[in-house]
């Protein structure tokens, strides 16, 4: 029998969470009701009440209530709830977590869920699940389930959704995870324009005894990779596709934020780094491209994705940023430069072929890079099997000297 945390604002949604808890019991598991509301549970008795949660956050509960500022209360509980769940997990008292919520409840519960490790079952039934959930999910594996109707009472729709949600979280905690062994982990960054390179490098690393996890460089993918590196679980970084920095600098849609490339430095992980796909900035359909870019070189990847070629000035700055980030790396690191093309479409005869822009990028990297960091300038396209082999061999060599 597993114990599943049922986390919610029980002052306004006590009846709904009590119903959910009963469904979990019917599946043979034990619910642990945790109240993250401000006024005390209504319609249910909490196993961990709101005062205990507030105490974990170490804030002046009475003073906050007197101000009647709902936003302040939600913010405070969103800071305290993660501490409660982390403590329960450390003590081995919970095997999964589920919550029901509107705006405030979703903000609090998902903040708590994001504090839990990848692989731990997390399910959020929310009125906001059908919209943009990026700021709720972050880089964690939180399942967002639409509530369809508001979490406001029990009716034929809400009961159906809550029953299915209870079944889902119980199924998640019941699932057996196949043992993967203890092979050290290498993370790799990939885009459609660098797929052949990464796919050719993976078997070489696997043959050397590593498990390779690939992340799509789409903003959220880069952030997820950084998060995993920062967790301390990663033994090596195959960062072939650093394209998200082009979106961060120019204003595209797939930025991973200004901390992209930082985790490798913080965790001192052996790595190779390549300016893969820094020739492109991502936008949506053509009509979504800002007017200020009207005279630029575009490539229509598909009806929903428009790529814009980075220009000389942008590449000079991207090279400087790239070098500045890598300069913070203390573990063995190699920068590899594919001189003939940094993406499929920057090769000779392709839409983004611009030797001057590429040369400016490469020169900026070399001019700003720390003198003791190895640079390999290879007269190859990024997807040439020989370049992939060079990347894998450099990473294995860096591993051996770490």
Considering 143, 174, 205, which residue would you say is the last residue of a domain?
A: 174
Whether residues 194 and 301 fall in one domain: yes
Considering 150, 174, 198, which residue would you say is the last residue of a domain?
A: 174
Could you give the percent of the chain with pLDDT greater than 90? 85
What is residue 60's three-state secondary structure?
Answer: coil
Give the mean pLDDT of 126-151.
92
Distance CA 327, CA 330 (A): 8
- Please name the residues in contact with 171: beta carbons below 8 A apart, sequence gap of 6 or more: none
Whether residues 277 and 387 fall in one domain: yes
Whether residues 116 and 218 fall in one domain: no
CA 220, 221, 222, 228 torsion-angle sign: positive
C-beta of residue 56 within 8 angstroms of C-beta of residue 69? no
pLDDT in tens, 5-59: 999 999 999 999 999 999 999 999 999 999 999 887 788 899 999 999 988 877 7
CATH number for position 322 = 3.40.50.12030
pLDDT value, residue 115: 94
Distance CA 8, CA 81 (A): 10
C-beta of residue 314 within 8 angstroms of C-beta of residue 250? yes
Q: What is the mean pLDDT of the chain?
A: 94
The candidate with the shortest Cα–Cα distance to 85, out of 126, 42, 140, is 140
How far from 267 is each of 230, 231, 393, CA to CA, in Å? 6, 8, 21
Considering 174, 198, 233, which residue would you say is the last residue of a domain?
A: 174
Whether residues 194 and 325 fall in one domain: yes
Q: How many domains does the chain have?
A: 2
**What confidence category does residue 180 fall into, taking pLDDT thresholds of 50, 70 and 90?**
low
Asked which of 172-181, 215-224, 366-375 is least confident by mean pLDDT, the reply is 172-181
pLDDT in tens, 259-303: 999 999 999 999 999 999 999 999 999 999 999 999 999 999 888
* Paired strand residues for 230: none
pLDDT in tens, 244-254: 999 999 999 99
> Look-up: residue for tokens 């998640």?
172
C-beta of residue 31 within 8 angstroms of C-beta of residue 6? yes
Task: Return the higher-pLDDT residue of 72 and 163.
Answer: 163
Task: Return the higher-pLDDT residue of 132 and 61.
Answer: 132
pLDDT in tens, 59-109: 776 676 666 667 777 888 999 999 999 999 999 999 999 999 999 999 999
CATH number for position 130 = 3.40.50.12020
Distance CA 382, CA 132 (A): 34
Whole domain around residue 291: which residue ranges? 185-401
Kindly report the pTM of this predicted structure: 0.80
């Amino acid at each position: 029998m597993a114990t599943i945390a049922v986390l919610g604002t029980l002052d306004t949604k006590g009846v709904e969470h009590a119903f959910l808890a009963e469904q979990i019991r019917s599946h043979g598991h034990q619910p642990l009701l945790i109240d993250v509301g401000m006024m005390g549970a209504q319609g249910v008795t909490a196993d961990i009440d709101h005062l205990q949660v507030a105490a974990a956050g170490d804030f002046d509960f009475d003073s906050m209530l007197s101000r009647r500022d709902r936003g302040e209360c939600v913010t405070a509980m969103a800071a305290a709830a993660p501490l409660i769940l982390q403590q329960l997990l450390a003590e081995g008292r919970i095997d999964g977590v589920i919550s029901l919520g509107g705006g405030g409840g979703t903000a609090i519960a998902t903040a708590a869920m994001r504090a839990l490790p990848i692989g731990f079952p997390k399910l959020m039934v929310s009125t906001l699940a059908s919209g943009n959930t990026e700021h709720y999910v972050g880089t964690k594996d939180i399942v967002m389930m639409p509530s369809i109707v508001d979490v406001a009472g029990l009716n034929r729709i809400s009961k159906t959704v809550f029953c299915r949600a209870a079944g889902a979280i119980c199924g998640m905690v019941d699932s057996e995870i196949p043992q993967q062994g203890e092979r050290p982990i290498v993370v790799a960054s990939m885009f459609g324009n660098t797929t052949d390179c990464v796919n050719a490098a993976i078997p070489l690393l696997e043959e050397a005894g590593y498990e390779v996890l690939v992340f799509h460089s789409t903003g959220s993918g880069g952030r997820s990779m950084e998060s995993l590196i920062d967790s301390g679980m990663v033994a090596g970084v195959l960062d072939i596709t650093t394209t998200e920095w082009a979106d961060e600098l120019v204003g595209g849609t797939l930025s991973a934020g200004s901390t992209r490339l930082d985790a490798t430095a913080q965790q001192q992980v052996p790595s190779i780094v390549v300016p893969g796909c820094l020739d492109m900035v991502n936008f949506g359909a053509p009509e979504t491209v800002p007017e200020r870019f009207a005279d630029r070189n575009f490539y229509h990847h598909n009806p929903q994705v428009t790529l814009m070629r980075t220009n000389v000035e942008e590449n000079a700055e991207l090279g400087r940023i790239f070098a500045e980030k890598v300069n913070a790396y203390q573990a063995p690191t190699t920068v590899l430069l594919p001189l003939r093309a940094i993406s499929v479409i920057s090769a000779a005869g392709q839409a983004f072929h611009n030797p001057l822009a590429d040369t400016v990028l490469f020169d900026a990297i070399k001019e700003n890079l720390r003198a003791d960091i190895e640079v390999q300038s290879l007269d190859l396209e990024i997807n040439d099997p020989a370049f992939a082999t060079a990347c894998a061999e450099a990473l294995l060599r860096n591993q051996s000297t770490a």
